[in-house]
Structure 1
Amino acid sequence: MKIEKILFPTKFRELAFNSLESLLVLKKVGLKEVVLYYVIPREDVGFVPYGGYLKEEEERLREEARIRFEDWQSALSKQGIKSKIIVEVGDPVPNILAVAEKEQVNLIVVGRKKRKGPELSFVGSHTLQLIARSKFPTLVSKYMVQFEYNGEKVTRVNDDIFKRPLLASDWSEPSARALDLLKSLNGIIEKAFVCHIIGVKISKGLDKSELYRIEKESKERLEDYCTRLKSEGIVAEPHLGAGRTPLEIIRISREIEASMIIMGTTGKDRLHEIFMGSTSHRVAEMSELPTLLVP
């Protein structure tokens, strides 16, 4: 599973270009093309009460997007990466998914929203819908974030995201696909980490012998994942945690100084995921690190 073609939807928020630049290292492992995409919200050009349409406003927004994108294209071209500009009127989530399907991309990259409090999410409702419905690996990019850690406000810049990735596995098929994607990044990884969490729901009510069996089995699986990474020339280290899964993944990511978190999305019903969320979605919401979700 190589990343050869990226879909990069943007609202031209602050640091969006910096986020794009942080992905260009993927050229070393096969990146060939970036699709630069802007959705003009339908409500920005629709004049619903009178049944009209603001054609001049649409043309202005299209022209602004084109000028900005052409500047970005220059930076991509200097790196030897092809690019394409697409600007459409519509609804962000269905439009992005339709373009991803049409262009057959290997990765969708979405930005984070501005976090306004220590307990609030880095991920907006559109992004949650997108990652719940996407058939493509989706990276929630968080180039610069502010968050509370040990009672202090911390600012973090995520500009070398593939250096120390943490793969959080639940042994599912999506986790196996996430491992394959991680293996394809050999050449830009300094060190990889693999973790598994024995969750509260699993451990609750078990006697010591059964818990020991699960622990032993989990360690063996972690070693197997690390062996597979090492066979691809990637230095890998296993970590086993226990407790509330999203919080444990975030705790481990901080202790090992990970640069990003990679997870398979769960096998839950898609509609359930949109409304109730999943472990991978909660990690994307809560962690200050870029989060790559693999369906």
Structure 2
Amino acid sequence: MKGFKSVGIEEVILFYALGVRHIDSLKYLIKDSVEPALIKQQNIIKKEGFNTTLEIAPGIPSEEIKRVAQEKNVSLIVVGSHGESAASHMLFRIGGVTSEVLHSHEKPFLLIRTKVTEVNGEKCVKPSCADFREKILYATDFSDTAHRAFVYVERIVEDGCKSVTLLHVQDKTKIDKHLKEKLDKFSRIDTERLEMRKNVLLEKGAVDVKIKIPYGNPTQEILNESKDGYTLIVMGSQGRGFINELFIGSVSHNVARSAEMSVLLIPALR
């Protein structure tokens, strides 16, 4: 749970949806089988210093997550996903829980990469890194939503993160056709923008802040950079191309599906 307080978390709702709203006998059977493990997790979270409540809902997971997020006015939705990348995880199948929440979330969304380990002969799930504040990759398209995401980077730095990379990808597919001759100008302007953000982070306590502006496919360039030892990717979702994202999937969603580390997505204001 290290790093959670840096994104404003004080209280945790440990949530589980049974997915069997209309089958009472099965609903209670499943509840009885999962509740002991959930109570155990609740106690672990409490020991980390978080006020923690447990809520078990009967309905469809994706619907129940959105309902509770709205009713409780949560500040962050956290979902764990194990494996090398979320793309191969069952929750990311078309219509899967994480996929549905990811494409409709109105609250900040943290996808935590996890790994299954065995302790004293008992399987347990742990985050892929002990502290996601270790090395942050912030990807921006300079939209208002990306700026909202940068505020979270500032908070994480204030909470102790020392290493951040500020990344903006010059989109090859958009520039190649008619704007190739202006690439140097674009990169110069964007470097100045990122320098201002770098100075903000240095003032807040960061020590190692790098600026990178690669030229290529945004999703692929972000994923390529993310392999350099990062513990968290932070970016806005539903940025400049919101309408297109509804049909083809946004860069942020594709990164969340394929990244091998945790991803924090900050949604657009609606």
TM-score (norm 2): 0.83
Q: Report what 2:193 is aligned to.
A: 221
- 1:39 shift after superposition: 0.4
Query: Which of the numbers 45, 53, 57 marks the counterpart of 1:84?
Result: 53
Contact persistence 1:260–1:290 (CA under 8 A): yes
In structure 1, how many angstroms separate the alpha carbons of the residues matched to 2:131 and 2:212? 22
Is 2:6 aligned against 1:32?
no
Q: 1:177 to 1:97 in 2, by over 3 A?
A: same
- Structure 1: segments with no counterpart, 5+ residues: 1-22, 47-52, 146-155
Q: 1:269 to 1:193 in 2, by over 3 A?
A: closer
In structure 2, how many angstroms separate the alpha carbons of the residues matched to 1:119 and 1:61? 26
Q: Report what 2:129 is aligned to.
A: 158
Query: Which of the numbers 254, 263, 270 marks the counterpart of 2:235?
Result: 263
Post-superposition Cα deviations, 1:235-277, rounded to whole Å, max 9, x if no partner, equal: 322111110111111111223x21111110123446x535421
Matches within 5 A, 1:114-263: 114=83, 120-122=87-89, 123-124=92-93, 125-144=96-115, 157-185=128-156, 186-206=158-178, 209-235=181-207, 236-255=209-228, 257-263=229-235
* Superposition CA RMSD, Å: 2.4
Post-superposition Cα deviations, 1:140-163, rounded to whole Å, max 9, x if no partner, equal: 111239xxxxxxxxxx93332221
Contact persistence 1:144–1:158 (CA under 8 A): no
Residues matched between the structures, number: 250
Contact persistence 1:263–1:280 (CA under 8 A): yes
Secondary structure in 2 matching 1:112: strand
Secondary structure in 2 matching 1:248: helix
Post-superposition Cα deviations, 1:38-67, rounded to whole Å, max 9, x if no partner, equal: 00112xx64xxxxxx3x2321222223322
Contact persistence 1:183–1:234 (CA under 8 A): no
In structure 2, how many angstroms separate the alpha carbons of the residues matched to 1:134 and 1:26? 19
- 1:31 shift after superposition: 2.8
- Percentage identity across aligned positions? 25
- 1:119 shift after superposition: 11
Contact persistence 1:27–1:81 (CA under 8 A): no
Contact persistence 1:178–1:264 (CA under 8 A): yes
TM-score (norm 1): 0.77
- Structure 2: segments with no counterpart, 5+ residues: 117-126
Secondary structure in 1 matching 2:230: coil
Contact persistence 1:139–1:290 (CA under 8 A): yes
Could you tell me which amino acid in structure 1 is paired with residue 136 of structure 2?
P
Secondary structure in 2 matching 1:90: coil
In structure 2, how many angstroms separate the alpha carbons of the residues matched to 1:120 and 1:136? 22
Post-superposition Cα deviations, 1:70-120, rounded to whole Å, max 9, x if no partner, equal: 2112212222211011111111112101101111111111122656xx995
Is 2:73 aligned against 1:104?
yes
In structure 1, how many angstroms separate the alpha carbons of the residues matched to 2:167 and 2:226? 9
